[in-house]
Amino acid sequence: MTKSLHVEITGRVQGVGYRAWAEEEAGRLGLSGWVRNRRSGAVEAIISGEEAAVEAMLERLREGPACSSVNDIRVIGEVEAYEGPFEVRATE
């Protein structure tokens, strides 16, 4: 069963390699989607793939890379399945 979520991550998540780390972790889990910085200081992502892999990615996003400090992850909602490799997108 596949699952696709739109999420927002807040805390110290910009300027600490969070997006590149998320791209690497998603690749390890075989996920599709994207990640980008928001002008608000948050990081936004679409994570799409097998339900267990999406749940594992949510846990990893809560941890973040060593220099980050995640305050909260908000699931904005479920979205249509995303196809293709997981990628880093430009800030919006």
Which of 37, 38, 60, 62 does the annotation list as catalytic?
37
Is 19 a known active-site residue?
yes
Is 37 a known active-site residue?
yes
Which of 12, 19, 38, 39 does the annotation list as catalytic?
19
Query: What is the torsion angle, in degrees rounded to the nearest 10, for the CA atoms of residue 45, residue 51, residue 56 and residue 60?
Result: 0
Pick from 16, 71, 73: nearest CA to 45: 73
Active site residues: 19, 37
